[in-house]
Amino acid sequence: MSDNHKLPLVALISGSGTNLQAIIDGAVGDLPVEIRAVISNRPDVHGLTRADNANIPTRVLNHKAFPDRESYDQALIELIDEYQPELVVLAGFMRILTPGFVRHYAGRMFNIHPSLLPKFRGLNTHQQALDEGETLHGASVHFVTEELDGGPLIVQAQVPVQDGDDARTLANRVLQREHLIYPLAIRWFAQQRLWLAGNGQVYLDDQPLQQPVLFTPDQEIA
């Protein structure tokens, strides 16, 4: 790999795209990636505007135009693969993926999830954390496997729950950390320091990760 190799990636979104923005901003800086396309399953979402503003090609593949998950995911594979990405980044892509789709991108697809997995898979994670009386919440980046929000963890950021937090205030603080840990995991992968072995073991810098890299509240994230 030459020093100026840029990892080709495709990002999938469904909404606002603040994580996408963090990756775009990274790529404008020294994050060694080339965002070849941003694909949304929903038209008219703000994430598409963010991509447009950065001169990144955008595509909409509306799930409502397909009869079932299999046919949608097959069309999505064909669309993504036009861009020949080495990494697929789920950045608020609000779809349950078929096993065939996940297998096609095994070891080269990331997701970010707003909880300290394995706690609080699925939706409404911030409210769940509040309802459970958690004092620490956060976000996780993981490789995507067939188990929803259950793939091998890469990095997590902890966010303390504060008195008076509601789901919105907590979500906002978690998002600030998401915007740091997602580009970080992508950087490691782009630098070929991070990979997923066939047995599901994550390696970082040739060491098996026994637990995700953890960023604590006061820690600076490089």
Positions touching ligand GRF (CB under 6 A) are 15-20, 47, 91-92, 112-114, 139, 175, 178
Nearer to ligand GRF, 20 or 184 (CB): 20
- Whether 113 is a known active-site residue: answer yes
Structural tokens at position 42: 């929903």
Nearer to ligand GRF, 92 or 212 (CB): 92
- Choosing from 5, 46, 63, 113, which is the catalytic residue? 113
Nearer to ligand GRF, 74 or 175 (CB): 175
**Integer Cα distance of 178 and 172 in angstroms:** 10
Contact predicate 19/178, CB 8 Å = yes
**End-to-end Cα spacing for the chain:** 23
Tell me the three state secondary structure of residue 161: coil
Pairing mode, strands 109-113 and 136-143? antiparallel
Tell me the three state secondary structure of residue 48: helix
CB-based closest residue to ligand GRF: 92
What is the DSSP-derived secondary structure letter of residue 64?
G
Contact predicate 81/59, CB 8 Å = no
Nearer to ligand GRF, 25 or 74 (CB): 25
Partners of residue 111 on adjacent β-strands: 90, 142
Minimal distance, residue 179 CB to ligand GRF, in Å: 8
Could you give the residue ranges of the DSSP H alpha helices within 54-204? 69-81, 99-104, 125-131, 167-190
Instruction: Report the catalytic residues.
Output: 113
